[in-house]
Structure 1
């Protein structure tokens, strides 16, 4: 891994592809054990979680399903603090075990809004799974059962995460240079 440039920012390596794969497999094993006999519905939040959700789904060893919801709260490198649902949930969630799959949990406001929305659809249970968690940034209390990595409050890119829609295709995760 080397320093890369995306638009006006330079990024340096933070988490390697090998580390990501190892942690995704561990999270999938935990979900497979915890959810045995439940056929959970993974509800992946687009756009950022699509790479993580695909890799996670392939590693889960129990029957499971996946669907997608698109929410927006980012502009450039800064969260707007306002979550706007773009594409809604179409599945019947009554009696279902739902696992929200996120790329990154920072303030927790997106997840909180999703849990509230999902709760009106009578699921059996709702769980949270994230690739990255920034515990120091949480603004709401959440029970995050599955987190592959806990990271500091740095701006990152790669493995589905973007900077103004660029860098999602990177296999590793990078942190903006000067903030490492």
Structure 2
């Protein structure tokens, strides 16, 4: 069943802009500087978490000025819904990262179920070290694991339902240039 496009358009029209395109781009540039300083000599395998991490990865990767291997993985709890369920692997990594540093790039650290499961998977599969870069870290006390923190964070975010820069509302608006909060959510 496809979404009601009038509703999808209304969500954008009524949304609150939390971060403009320029603010997001500046945050990504700052993250890249730190990652370049800390990971340039690690020869990492970088995994883009699909679909949410696609836009963020596409913006971040050209700013990383060191050799890396790039791949992707696809694990989700949302399946175009607004609340998460069980973790579902759509595509596990196909590149070997045994005894290598891994950098996982994802759109958001919300409750952390998905990112935590991906980190655990990488450790169990033989990664030497697992690093995480998220565009947004949502500020609330519902984290699945209190110790789960991203190594690199672009922007903090209030506890609202957000979309843009890879994050979606019911499968839509991943392409929004900025980070927006849904009215009333």
TM-score (norm 2): 0.88
- Confirm or deny: 8 A CA contact 2:109 2:150 kept in the other structure: no
The match for 1:149 among 145, 155, 164 is: 155
Unaligned runs of 5+ in 1: none
C-alpha displacement of 1:126? 0.3
Structure 2 counterpart of 1:62: 66
Provide the rounded CA distance (Å) in 1 between the counterparts of 2:34 and 2:54: 20
Structure number with higher helix proportion: 2
Residue 77 in 1 paired to residue 79 in 2?
A: no
Q: Secondary structure of the residue that 1:6 maps to in structure 2?
A: helix
| Residues 18-66 of structure 1: CA deviation (Å, up to 9, x unaligned) | 0111110111110110012112221111001100011110111111222
Spell out the pairing of 1:14-163 with structure 2 (5 A cutoff): 14-74=18-78, 75-80=80-85, 82-136=86-140, 137-140=142-145, 141-163=147-169
Provide the rounded CA distance (Å) in 1 between the counterparts of 2:60 and 2:45: 13
Tell which deviates more after alignment, 68-77 or 91-100.
68-77
Residues matched between the structures, number: 175
Residue 6 in 1 paired to residue 11 in 2?
A: no
Q: Secondary structure of the residue that 1:19 maps to in structure 2?
A: helix
C-alpha displacement of 1:143? 3.5
Provide the rounded CA distance (Å) in 2 between the counterparts of 1:159 and 1:118: 25
Structure number with higher strand proportion: 1
**RMSD of the TM alignment (CA)?**
1.7
TM-score (norm 1): 0.90
Unaligned runs of 5+ in 2: 1-5
- Confirm or deny: 8 A CA contact 1:5 1:11 kept in the other structure: no
